[in-house]
């Protein structure tokens, strides 16, 4: 059985499971993720809200017989910086991954991806 270690970031009110954008694309779940999730400023990580979106990811991995290990990372403040990131939108995953594959690395911020 394969295994993956993911990090659950949380603040006083909520939590987000950090997942590589390429993993979300590979699993084909980008169009099912809500706008309650966030995109890291460099685009390589999506912070999946803990109630629905994180379960979507872990269920998809477990269906592929991948054991998911989750480490928790509390925020050092009452409000996580994740809340200030851009909200997730489905078109982001495909566009960002295609850009990285073409250029070898990402040079844009998430808000530039669809521009």
Q: Considering the entire predicted model, what is its pTM?
A: 0.84
Number of folded domains that form the chain:
1
Structure tokens at 49: 């809200």
pLDDT tens-digit series, residues 74-94: 887 889 999 999 999 888 877
In the predicted model, what is the mean pLDDT of residues 21-48? 92
- Phi and psi at residue 7, to the nearest 5°: -110, 130
C-beta neighbour count of 6 within 10 angstroms: 18
* Domain that includes residue 21, residue range: 2-112
Instruction: Kindly tell me the sign of the dihedral angle through the C-alpha atoms of 9, 11, 16, 22.
Output: negative
Over residues 36-50, mean pLDDT:
93
């Amino acid at each position: 059985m394969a295994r993956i270690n993911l990090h659950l970031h949380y603040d006083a009110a909520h939590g987000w499971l950090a997942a590589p954008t390429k993993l979300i694309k590979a699993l084909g779940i980008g169009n099912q993720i809500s706008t309650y999730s966030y995109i890291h400023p460099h685009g390589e990580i999506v912070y999946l809200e803990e109630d629905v979106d994180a379960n979507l990811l872990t269920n998809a991995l477990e269906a592929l017989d991948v054991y998911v290990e989750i480490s928790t990372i509390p925020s050092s403040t009452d409000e996580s910086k994740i809340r200030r990131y851009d909200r997730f939108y489905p078109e982001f995953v495909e566009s960002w991954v295609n850009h990285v594959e073409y250029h070898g690395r990402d040079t844009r911020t998430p808000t530039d991806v669809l521009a």
